[in-house]
Chains A and B, each alone.
Chain A
Amino acid sequence: MSLDKPYLDVPGTTIFDAEQSRKGYWLNQFCMSLMKAENRARFLADQRKYLDEWPMTEEQKLAVLAADLNRAIALGGNIYFLAKLGATHGKSFQQMAGSMTGMTEEEYRDMMIKGGRSIEGNRYVGENGSAQPQNQPQGHGTGRLL
């Protein structure tokens, strides 16, 4: 019998379940290493060299080098782990979240000040809200953190 995964039809959302966790194990463990100041300094000095110390897939390494958090999440990353990468680059949680929406930092911050993203049209895949694939990208951002 297959497992119950009722969360697969929520638009713009990847639930970090056992399958994602297995895929992203080394990517997320690499992120954990950035909780030490000396590792942050080593990573920033030569990102590729530091990444090559980890048994991550090439795709995962490229997502980190591109600071593309959506890509990293698709490859098993989790936002709380990826937050260490964002922090290493000096970015706030708002800048990290905003980078994944297709908006610029200003566009995303303005949306939040106006009360955030509406739930309407964003509950199920197939509706017509702002998080649905047909309405992406939403703004003028690059979709990357840097």
Chain B
Amino acid sequence: MKRIAFTTAATLAFAANAAFAETEITWWHAMGGALGDTVNQIASDFNASQDEYKITPVFKGTYEETLTAGIAAFRAGEQPNVMQVFDAGAATVIGAKGATIPVQDLLADNGVDFDINDYIAGVRYFYADSDGKMIGMPFNSSTPIMYYNIQALEKAGVTAPKTWEEFQTVTAPALKEAGYTALSQSHLPWIFTENFHSRHNLPFATNNNGYDGVDTQILVNNDAIKAHFTAVTDWQEKGHFEWFGTGWGDNQTPFEEGKVAMWLGSSGSFGGLSKKDLPFDFSATMLPYWEGVTKEPTQTFIGGASLFAMAGHDAEENKATAAFFDFLTSSEVQYFWHKETGYVPITEAAYEMAKADGHYDRAPAAEVGIQQLSLPGGDNTKGYRMGFYVQIRDVMNREYGRILTGETSVEDAFNAIEAEANNLLARFAKTQG
């Protein structure tokens, strides 16, 4: 009897306490180092901006580790309110109906205005379903662009190439003459595959690039990309292109050292590169395209990650999550994030604010990503949705590594990628059955 009385008292006290206290929510993310500091800054700004809600950001390691931790937590009923999921993991989390609350519904239910057309073109549909409803809130969005060493190009007497044809006939030979390796590039699946298809408006997978169903087949084994990789091996032989490994930094470092004149990286690398004391001035331009494939290159889509509102929390907490998303997408916060990190601002309004503030007069390279994302689109430029895609990327990385070390031919590599990817896609389709 005594115990019951005690429990009741404790419950009452707790409830009374909770009624006055602010609603606390958690945010699991994969932003380490300087990015993590910026994330913490945004969170504490949100907490300071009002006194109803409190968000706690928690760094969970790499993108893959964060997703795995979130999945394990969800299965144990301990999921955070907000989870950051990267591009390749999107199919997994969106495919699991009921794991997340579509961000568009969350905002509408909690009285926050939402119009998908407020977002810049390349950002809108990557994390949306096939009807165009936004499921995940784009957060750190970036797109591949080409950075170049200004002094190196001047020394070689060339300008940054617009097309790959120009690169191989004019730019690369001149740079080699001037003592540079012309090009290196990070993340082959992202830049030379996913965005290669988007830049040339080529279909990447059946079912509307995978958005319309899970019985998807990959269409990577096509002539355009095989010709591209054949050209890449040719550049490699001539010393115009060098590959330093699968890791992102492996290929960025030689550019920073001034050994490589041009580097294909992420628009999100801008903040990091600016903070480093590089021995040369750098700028950036859009991703080159093959004139032989298309005369009208289209936009690329975003990489990076988005924020998902996890299901299974009470209405009060969901309201807090909606309030946080509202804060996060405000122009001020987006501009702050863009300026600090180089990730693109996700809304048109934030982009306008950056322009009005003269950010791009001071740093023209910071605008390249947004300009590229705002180019005319096509049927195949909004993104892709494929299950077990992390493994498919691993297969691509493996086969590309083999091509570039001469272990396999371009033809065999793409046959292998197609076969293994389709096998993985079929297996994923079964998990959803």
Does A pair with B? no
- A-side residues, CB < 8 A to B, are none
